[in-house]
Structure 1
Amino acid sequence: MPAKDNSSSHRSEDYDLQIGDTIPYYESFHDETLNMVKTILKEPKIWLDTGCGTGTLVNKAVQEFDTTSFILSDPSPEMLNLAREKLSNQTKRLRILNPNETSNISLGNDLKPDVITAIQAHHYLSKEERTETTKVCYDLLRDDGVYITFENIRPKTEEGIRVVKEYVKNYQLKRGRDEETVNNFLKRFDVEFFPIKVEEHISLLEKTGFKVVELFWMSYMQAGFYCIK
């Protein structure tokens, strides 16, 4: 099997087919993000999706927001190529940045997104890297702009960790993944991705400077937060 070409547990070409068998309710992350943007901003002018993957979120968003311009960023060239192909009929409202980590994105002082989204994008980072990356998103955003992030979360207790791992294992097995693949995925916990508790997410976002920080979605090992600058 060819080596992975991104930080997830899937090759880029397999990502869309496999992610729903890996993370429960994954499609809801995108749907709830769109609903939250509609609720707060109605029709944003500029939307940056960092860690955009294959462009699935933006592909949904262009159908819902008629005048919004979208900027896509991801560290993986292969992911960006798939996003470019998926969104080939939307080039007039689309700008795809060169492959880059969120912490290295630069848009210029005259370009301030109304919305920045980071959906399952930053949980591979260390504590220091996560702090730096969150601050970059804050600085890029316009005043009163909205930052929405979905991230892996850490249960409060060791027993909670055991239970959620067992839940995810059963979910993936029922979705047709073999036991070896499932066990290898669970071994990535605290090795390849580094979940933090909900309270730690909220504290980080508040310390970054956001005037509003709210949890609006939680399911087993993932949570969604919206923030207003």
Structure 2
Amino acid sequence: MATTNWQRGDITTHYLEQVRGGIPFGAEQVNLMLNLVHHFCQNPKTIVDLGCGNGFLAEVLLRTYPDASAILIDHSKPMIDAAKEHMSRFNDRCTIIHADLSESITSLIEQNEVDCIVSGFAIHHLPNEQKKELYHEIYSLLSNGGMFINIEHVVSASAKVEELYDDLFIQHLASHNNKNVEEVAKDYHNRSDKEDNILERVDIQLDWLRDLGFNHVDCYFKWMEIAVFGGVK
């Protein structure tokens, strides 16, 4: 199991309570995820949430599709604990697994059987070679017509663009938490989990998906360093 700052309870609590809800255009990203699933999968029965956090994306999908079941995977024990609590009402419809995305997940899930695989701000913690290997495994797990949707943190085109992204993101967090911008900026720039980010350009990741055989590959939404992208098997 990889050791990252996300094994710390204070990091996960801060993210769930003060960051996740303050991500710019978060509601629009989730709504787009639902539109994509409905358009390509229509009525998924098997869902996988990779790097599930507290299970927010899986929860939205299980609420939308009452006949579906979900497998939730995360390497962070505090996140797994949060998911077990948050998803307790779906106990009969979800399986929560403590596992590392840097290791093969194919033994945990039936191949060619999954209708929809989603991930939210998790895969960017993997080195690029491991990202590509995970995308390969995702392709093998999906059923024909199954869809992969990644709501993800990607790298900016330049340091100057990253500077603007940071400033705008800080303003969103300050407004969401009703805090002073300078206080939020100090916490943001000094946050411990920043060292766990291994970001890559979205266009490069789209090429990886195309090379694996995914269809309808696109970046369906992008705001600065936040992107929603994926494809269909």
The bucket for the TM-score relative to the shorter chain is 0.7 to 0.9
- In structure 2, the gaps of 5 or more residues are none
| Greater share of strand | 2
Aligned to 2:229: 225
Stretch of structure 1 that moved more, 68-77 or 173-182: 173-182
Provide the C-alpha distance between the structure 2 equivalents of 1:5 and 1:166, rounded to a whole number of angstroms: 23
**2:78 pairs with 1:78:** yes
What amino acid maps onto 1:58 in structure 2?
A: A
- Partner of residue 165, structure 2: 164
Percent sequence identity is 23
Tell me whether 1:183 sits opposite 2:189 in the alignment: yes
User: Which residue is equivalent to 2:125?
Assistant: 124
C-alpha distance in 1, partners of 2:199/2:8? 14
Letter in structure 1 aligned against 2:204 = E
| Residues in 1 aligned to 2:173 and 2:9: alpha-carbon distance in whole angstroms | 13
CA contact (8 A) 1:118 1:150 kept: yes
Q: 1:224 to 1:15 in 2, by over 3 A?
A: same
* TM-score normalized with structure 2 length: 0.84
2:55 aligned residue: 55
The whole-number CA distance in structure 2 between the counterparts of 1:10 and 1:27 is 25
Tell me how far apart the structure 1 counterparts of residues 130 and 111 of structure 2 sit (CA, whole Å).
Answer: 26
1:36 aligns with 36
Mapped contact 1:45–1:68 kept (Cα < 8 A):
yes
93-102 or 72-81: bigger deviation: 93-102
User: Equivalents in 1 of 2:161, 2:8: separation in Å?
Assistant: 23
Number of residue-to-residue matches in the alignment? 224
Deviation at 1:90, TM superposition (A): 1.5
**1:100 aligned partner:** 100
Q: Map residues 128-143 of structure 1 onto 2, 5 A cutoff.
A: 128-143=129-144
Per the TM alignment, residue 14 of structure 1 is displaced from its structure 2 partner at its CA by: 3.6
TM-score (norm 1): 0.86
Considering only aligned residues, what root-mean-square deviation do their CA atoms show, in Å?
A: 2.6
Kindly indicate whether the alpha-carbon contact (under 8 Å) linking 1:52 and 1:119 is maintained by their aligned counterparts in 2: yes
CA deviation profile, 1:94-151 (whole Å, cap 9, x unmatched): 1122333264212354672111111111111111111111111111111221000012
Asked if 1:211 corresponds to 2:212, the answer is no
